[in-house]
Chain A
C-alpha cells in the first residue's frame, strides 16, 4: 500500500513529526488520548449529526406509518376507526401464493352466484361469453347460456334493428339500460360494474369478501338513514347495498354446501378472475422468468470472477522505485 503513495509523502510526514512541538509528543505518550480524540472528532462531525437526525426522523416516520399516530402523543378520537372502513383481514385464497393458479371449480360456482344474485343489479360489461370458455364452462354450455339472452342487432336490410339470441362474442347483458335507470332503481346509488372491481378496491379480494360477509347491526348511537345498511368495512359505514348472501341462497351443481362464506369466496374468486383473466399465465411466465434470469445472473457472476481472477491474483514486483 505504501508504495502507491507519492514518493515524497513519507518524507514529508516524517518532517512534520520532527517539527512538531514537545506538547504534541506528550499527547502521543498518553494511552487513551489518541482514540478518544478520534471519537470526539467523529462525535463533532457533520456526518454524525446528519446520521443521528436521519435515524430520528426515520424512526418517527416509520412509527407514524405503522401505527398512524406519533409516538408519546396519545390521541383521543370522537369517532371509531371503523368509520373510515375497517381494514379487511387477509384470507387464505386458493390463488394467493406466487405459484398458485385460480381454483377453476370455484370460478364456476362464483359465476353461478354472480348470475343468480349479483347480476340483478351489477353489470359485468368487460366480460364476454367467450371468455368463460375453457375457464369455467365448455363451449357448448356457454352457447346455451348465451342463447337465453336476447341482444339487439342490426340494422337489417330494411334498416331496422332486430332482436336475436346471444352468441359467444356478445358481452354479458347489463341489468339496466343506462346509469340513470340503475340509480333510480337503487335509491340514487349506482351499483358499480364488477369487471375490474377486485383491482379497483383497496384490499382487493379480501375487501370484497369482508364487505359481503361483514353486514351487522349498527352499533349504538350510529344513525343510519332509511335504505342504507351498516357495514364496518365500507368507508363511511353506510352502504346502499343490503346484505344479499344468505345460507342456501343458491344450489351448487357440484354439491358444495352454499353457506354465506362459501358463496362469498366463490364469487370473489370469480370476480378476481374477471379482473385478472391473465392471472394463471402470468404466474407461470413469472416462474419461467425467475428461473431463466437467475441462471443468467449466476452465469454472468461466474464469468466476471473468471475474467477478473487474473487481475485480482497478480502480484506487482516493486523493483523500480528510486530512493
Chain B
C-alpha cells in the first residue's frame, strides 16, 4: 500500500480524525514556527535585547 493510501486511511477517512489532525497540526505548526523565528531573531539580535542584559541589573539588585 502506498504512502498516500496509508495517509488517506489513517487521517482522512473519518472526518473527526481529519478535523482533529488539521487543528492539532495548525497548533503544532504555530508553536514550531514561532520557536524557529524567535531563535533566529535572538541570534540575529544577540546582545541587544533586554533579556541579554537583564542579568546585570538583577544581580545588582540582590547584592
Contact = CB atoms under 8 A, between A and B. Distances in A.
Contact of B49 (A137, A140, A141, A280): A280
A284 B49 CA distance: 13
Contacts of A140: 61
Interface string A98-140: 0111111100100000000000000000000000001111101
A101 B61 contact: no
B45 interface: yes
A287 to B, nearest CB: 6
A94 interface: yes
Contacts of B52: 104
A225 interface: no
> Interface extent on A, as a size class?
20 to 34
Contact of B50 (A94, A135, A141): A135
B33 A136 contact: no
Interface in B9-60: 33-34, 37-38, 40-41, 44-45, 48-50, 52-54, 56-58
B48 A104 contact: yes
Contact of B37 (A138, A254, A287): A287
A256 to B, nearest CB: 13
Given A99-B44, A284-B41, A105 B53 contact: yes
A94 B48 contact: yes
A292 B40 CA distance: 15
Contacts of A304: none
Nearest to B38: A284
Interface of A: 94, 99-105, 108, 134-138, 140-141, 254, 280, 284, 287-288, 291-292
Given A287-B41, A288-B34, 17 more contacts: A100-B45, A101-B45, A101-B48, A101-B49, A104-B49, A104-B50, A104-B53, A105-B53, A108-B53, A136-B50, A137-B57, A138-B58, A140-B61, A141-B61, A284-B38, A291-B33, A291-B37
The 8 closest A-B pairs by CB, nearest first: A101-B45, A104-B50, A103-B48, A105-B53, A140-B61, A138-B57, A288-B37, A284-B41
Interface of B: 33-34, 37-38, 40-41, 44-45, 48-50, 52-54, 56-58, 61
